Amino acid sequence: MTRTLFIGLDGCTFTVLDQMIRDLPGEGVTMPFMKRVVEGGVRAKLRSTPNPLTPPAWTSIQTGKGPGQHGVFDFIRAEDKGGEVFWTLYDARDVDSETIWSVASRKKKRIAALNFPLTAPPPGNINGFIVPGFIPAKHLRRNTHPRELFERMKQNIPGFDPKELAWDFDNEKQALEVLSPEDTENWVRYHLPREEQWFKIAEYILDSERPDLMAVMFDGTDKIQHQAWQFLDPALVPANPQGWEARMRAVCLEYFRNLDRYIERLVTLAGPEAQVFFASDHGFTASNFVLRINSLLEDLGYLKWAESDGSEQALRREASDFANLDWSKTTAYCRTPSSNGIHIRVAENPGDPGIKPEDYVAFRDKLIADLMSLKDPETGKQIIVDVLKREEWFPGPHMKEACDLTLVLSDNGFVSIRNYKPAVVQRPNAAGTHHPDGIFMAYGKGIDATGQEVELRQIVDVASTLLYSLGLSVPSDLEGEVPTSFFAAEYMAENPVKQGAKTRLERSGEAREEMDEEEKKKMIEQLQMLGYME
């Protein structure tokens, strides 16, 4: 029987979830089953990684370690080589820590992990099933573990469609344009059947295989909130929506009703003996302004934009996904909006572009002071409320791969890297953006059933909790803790937390079929649509 059921909800926040379990006038209770879970279980806010972003946060959930340890900081991995910045998309081969899927497999537990990012290519030592997320449809078959599972799903799951299951880049890139109200509604509605596909796979594997640990991640929560936050945030939802606004609110509620139905079915299949956990990689909130960080760095004298000579190469650079800079005159810059970070260019050898190594600390301190002095020209309030130094927030062997400085904006928004003025501009309408506090909930046998909210937990606690729920010892090098307040006192007394040997990383997976340039382009367009890149 399945002992532990883990349901990941990308970007889920109590701001929206609490609204969905209330009896609202004219709408009723959108998520009646989740209402039962909340009232009959336990919950806590879950603090994300220092930059609350999908790849590092989900990797921390899967490894129980922070980015400085597991080595994933963004959607892309970039390398600054003097006059060029080279990049590639992160995948499972970049995760430099053992995952809980591997730990459980080594300890003779069968697992299923569905739709989690950075699980392709899957390691060969997995005892169970992996269907990765965040890859194009044509790569799903090769990266499904075991390989024959893909054919089984085709034969046994009615309506199985890998094109619908994976990201449809051609469909989603339309959101890069200024969409009409009808197109925006259609774009949100398009995610409903995709989420249904992942549910059907989870239902099939849970029903037919009964893995000890069943884990599935639903990511429509994040995508819909990015594009339709004004129809979900109680502070922004129109009082009496009419016409298109009413339809947008309706399709958002339809998504959450479906999600509630999926969750109820999976919990029912897992059975009354199972422990059920829910977690999100981050929360959500409203962003009200745009900080054009590279434009600001130019104003402050740290950055110089490249001058175009009109050549084809220059035009390509200007249209690229990264800032087109004069590298010989740039000492600090931001690579991607999703990083919310600044890289300081340090000369590796005499004569190289960048500052001298011995000037690093003084240079960085001055840069921090300049950044913290920025005020909103309209309100006079501070724009950047914190600047995180990498050695303090990303300790570990991969610390130097982190941005030198990570910015925390007053509205938690992502920066822009475009060459536009002014450096700070108000948004015409509030946009959905990530908040550092997501959700962590538990329900089922042995779980505290008082419905209380307990103390803030850290994202690295999820891995320890799932392994403990499986009856396994918790590796001594995991950075998180088991939240004892989640469990009934008698359960903890009968099942004390045990510490085990350290994790061990084994590189035994197959080489993944690489994406071609067109697929990479479409992936970037997807990230642009969600606001992570420009």
- Provide the number of structural domains found in the chain: 2
State both tokens at 163: 């094109």
Tell me if 50 is assigned to some domain.
no
Q: What is the pLDDT of residue 531?
A: 52
Q: Has residue 341 been placed in a domain?
A: yes
Residues 238 and 318 in one domain: no
CA atoms within 13 A on the CB side of 488: 14
412 and 513 inside one domain: no
Euclidean distance between CA atoms 137 and 130, whole angstroms? 15
Of 463, 510, 405, whose CA–CA distance to 69 is shortest? 463
Q: Among the three residues 379, 408, 432, which one is the final residue of a domain in this structure?
A: 432
pLDDT of residue 172: 46
Query: Do residues 248 and 99 share a domain?
Result: yes
Tell me: do 412 and 483 sit in the same domain: no
- Boundaries of domain holding 423: 288-432
Q: What is the CATH number of the domain that holds 445?
A: 3.40.720
Q: Cα(322)–Cα(333) distance, rounded to whole angstroms?
A: 10
> Which has the closest alpha carbon to 441: 42, 175, 4, 93?
42
Residue 68 located in a structural domain: no
What is the structure's pLDDT at 226? 86
What pLDDT, on the 0 to 100 scale, is given for residue 513?
53
Please indicate, yes or no, if residue 82 is contained in any of the structural domains.
Answer: no
The answer to whether residues 219 and 299 belong to one domain is no
Residue 310 belongs to some domain of the structure: yes
CA distances from 213 to 100, 277, 386 (A): 10, 11, 39
CA 105 – CA 103 distance, rounded (Å): 5
Domain holding 316: CATH number? 3.30.1360
Query: What pLDDT was estimated at residue 469?
Result: 98
| Cα separation of the two ends of the chain | 46
The residue from 387, 413, 432 where one domain ends is 432
Is residue 85, in this structure, part of any structural domain at all? no
**CA–CA–CA angle 198, 521, 160 (5° rounding):** 20
244 and 261 together in one domain: yes
Q: Give pLDDT < 50 ranges for the chain.
A: 169-170, 172-178, 509, 512, 529
Q: Tell whether 315 and 272 lie within a shared domain.
A: no
What pLDDT does 198 receive? 96
Q: State the pTM of this model.
A: 0.92
pLDDT the model gives residue 135: 84
Residue 177, pLDDT score: 39
In a domain, 295, yes or no: yes
Q: Is the dihedral of CA 387, 76, 506, 126 positive or negative?
A: positive
Give the pLDDT of residue 519: 55
pLDDT of res. 173: 41
pLDDT of residue 183: 75
* pLDDT score recorded for residue 502: 97
In a domain, 71, yes or no: no
DSSP per position, 346-399? B-SSTTSSSB-GGGHHHHHHHHHHHHHT-B-TTT--BSEEEEEEHHHHS-STTG
pLDDT tens for each residue of 310-326: 777 666 666 665 678 89
